[in-house]
Amino acid sequence: MAQTDGSALIAKSIAKEGITTLFGLAGGPIVEIMGYAPHYGVRPIGVRHEQAATFSAAAYGYVKNEVGVAVLAAGPGVTNGLTGAHVAFDNCLPLIIIGGSGPQTGRYSGTFQETDNVPMFRGLTKMSVQVDSAARVPEYMAMAFRKAKSGRPGPVYLDLPSDVLQGVVEEDDVKWPSNYYTDSVPAGSPESIKRAAELLLSAERPAMIVGKGVRWSEPTEELKGLIETLGMPYIPSPMGRGFIPDDHPLNMSAARSVLMTGADVILVVGARINWMFDFGRRFSPDAKIIHIDIEPEEIGSNIGVEVGIVGDAKASLKQLLAELEGKTDGLADRAEEGPWLASLREKSDSNGKAIQPLLNSDSTPIATFRLLNEVSKVFPRETIYSVDGQMTLATGRQVLQSYTPASRLNSGSNGCMGVGVPFAVGAKLARPDAPVVSVNGDCAFGFNAMEMETAVRHGIPIVFIVNNNGGIVGGNLESRMGLPEGYDERVATYAPDIRYDKIIEAFGGHAESVSDPDDLRPALERAYQATLEGKTACVNVFSEHMETMISRSTRASALMGY
């Protein structure tokens, strides 16, 4: 009889789920998983740091609408993945982290890289367990995939001791679970749907908020149909963009604050009313909230709701549209001509005009608004943007547009820096036909800049852009506190004129450095062309110093209502 081991069963389990890519850094005792993976049709992507493995896997899953998989070596390799679990947990991204550990037979004896991993991950995952035998690997893997993608998605940690991975079993004795998913999706209760429809029909100033939670059912037609049927303006969360194209005339992101404070009925779909929406404190006290979410405990969090609909976004929106059918004649036209949309459009137009000088600035060093405006003109509509940093992210939110589902990646609700480069790697592998652009502040870029080598080595054509403003905003100590006399050691600003593009040049990628605003577009066009030819590119842009950037972006953010 043929025999197999735990590592092979892990690889085969991943393949059985239809997953074709995993991310990891080869090391004991998980190296054999990466070795077996190609034999089952799974491509292992070897990264430079385990944190990047979890980030790339999370982005891959989000963009491809499946579960991302990361495998981490024992000890420090596993602990390096904790931040990735935190990002996935906080942003509800389905991710399976497979971590190696010392042998079960040597527990608490001081074996090499022995750590008690399961408790560390318990507060950052939907499930954190240790696999107890090679024979049960398929059972645990099925459990992990079901847990990661069911209901509200999230990360799962599986701890694999070395003796479990190396344990040998008879192939014929292995039990492979089947039929462990349901095809049914939870729908909203008819009573709640009816009440929501009544509120929307009677609203004078309706509005909708779209969150990234809609990704998993992708109700693009339903979202668009609803806003157009009701003439209802909407705003997306930062990663909720693109499910309705950003250039839709009912997108009022540029009048975000006016929409939130003025709406009398607000439909929230797949979004959490957390700090991104000021916990609902900017909503009118009289506003009636309709909240659709697959997670019951999310409804009513931070703000009371008039109607809570627990259900799948697509299914619930279909129900709502059916309930509205035949009852909205002329409503879209009346709303179009009414004072509510007129006031939002007026504010949106005035805010847009206010930032035009920044978008077209010829100042040097280069204005960040000008940089991102040129990016928006060079790359096509289907581009996936991974944006990282603080001021770079804030400016990108106002300038870069998204037009397709799951085409906007950023630090998400926990503001983790360092995601931009590895997120782009995962995104490009998930959607290889779409251009992928990673825009990073110089500080954020530094966290995982070496993953550009990962992209070059694996032939992953991405344009990496460094907004090189010479420092970090969050630690802007030098300007706020001043420096003692004779003390010249800089904490929050970096050495001037760093050529980050030289890093990718050393790896064999396409490198550009720009200091003149007139050179921006040609450099970006050459970088884009390089990716079309299969090369990875980096454009280093010497931009306005962070203090100037803070002033401009804060002023623009105030105008835009952020």
Q: What is the pLDDT of residues 418-436, one digit of tens each?
A: 999 999 999 999 999 999 9
CATH code for 190-347? 3.40.50.1220
Least confident of 31-40, 188-197, 312-321, 347-356: 347-356
Cα–Cα dist 103/114, whole Å:
8
- pTM for the structure as a whole: 0.94
Q: Is the pLDDT of residue 293 over 80?
A: yes
* CA angle, residues 103, 105, 111, in degrees to nearest 5: 55
Nearest CA to 384 out of 526, 535, 241, 276 is that of: 241
Contact 446, 520 (CB under 8 A): no
Q: Residue 361: CB partners within 8 Å, gap ≥ 6?
A: 367, 369, 370, 517
Per-residue pLDDT, 559 = 43
Average pLDDT over residues 239-257: 95
Q: What percent of the chain has pLDDT over 90?
A: 83
Per-residue pLDDT, 561 = 44
> 231: alpha, beta or left, given left = phi > 0 and alpha = psi -120 to 50?
left
386 bridge partner residues: 409, 438
Q: Is the pLDDT of residue 411 over 60?
A: yes
470 confidence band (pLDDT: 50, 70, 90): confident
- The mean pLDDT value of the chain amounts to 92
Chain segment 115-130, per-residue pLDDT in tens: 889 999 999 999 999 9
Q: Is the pLDDT of residue 341 over 70?
A: yes
455 to each of 126, 151, 259, 291, 504, how far by Cα in Å? 30, 33, 41, 40, 10
* CA angle, residues 377, 383, 388, in degrees to nearest 5: 90
Contact 478, 490 (CB under 8 A): yes
Q: Is the pLDDT of residue 211 over 70?
A: yes
Chain segment 489-507, per-residue pLDDT in tens: 667 778 888 999 999 999 9
Q: What is the CATH T-level fold of the domain 355-560, as seen in this structure?
A: Rossmann fold (3.40.50)
Q: Is the pLDDT of residue 89 over 90?
A: yes
Most distant CA atoms of the chain, gap in Å:
78
Higher-pLDDT residue of 392 and 115 is: 392
* CA angle, residues 547, 548, 554, in degrees to nearest 5: 90
Per-residue pLDDT, 275 = 85
21-24 and 43-46 strand pairing: parallel
3-class secondary structure for 93-121?
Answer: CCEEEEEEECCHHHCCCCCCCCCCHHHHH
Kindly state the DSSP code that residue 251 receives in the 8-state scheme. B
Chain segment 38-72, per-residue pLDDT in tens: 999 999 999 999 999 999 999 999 999 999 999 99
Chain segment 444-461, per-residue pLDDT in tens: 999 999 999 999 999 999
Q: Which CATH architecture has domain 3-173?
A: 3-Layer(aba) Sandwich (3.40)
158 bridge partner residues: 98, 129
Hey, what are 28's tokens? 């004991």
Q: Residue 506: CB partners within 8 Å, gap ≥ 6?
A: none
Chain segment 169-181, per-residue pLDDT in tens: 999 999 999 999 9
Q: Where in the chain is the domain with CATH 3.40.50.970?
A: 3-173, 355-560
Contact 202, 259 (CB under 8 A): no
Contact 223, 214 (CB under 8 A): yes
Q: Is the pLDDT of residue 486 over 80?
A: no
263 confidence band (pLDDT: 50, 70, 90): very high
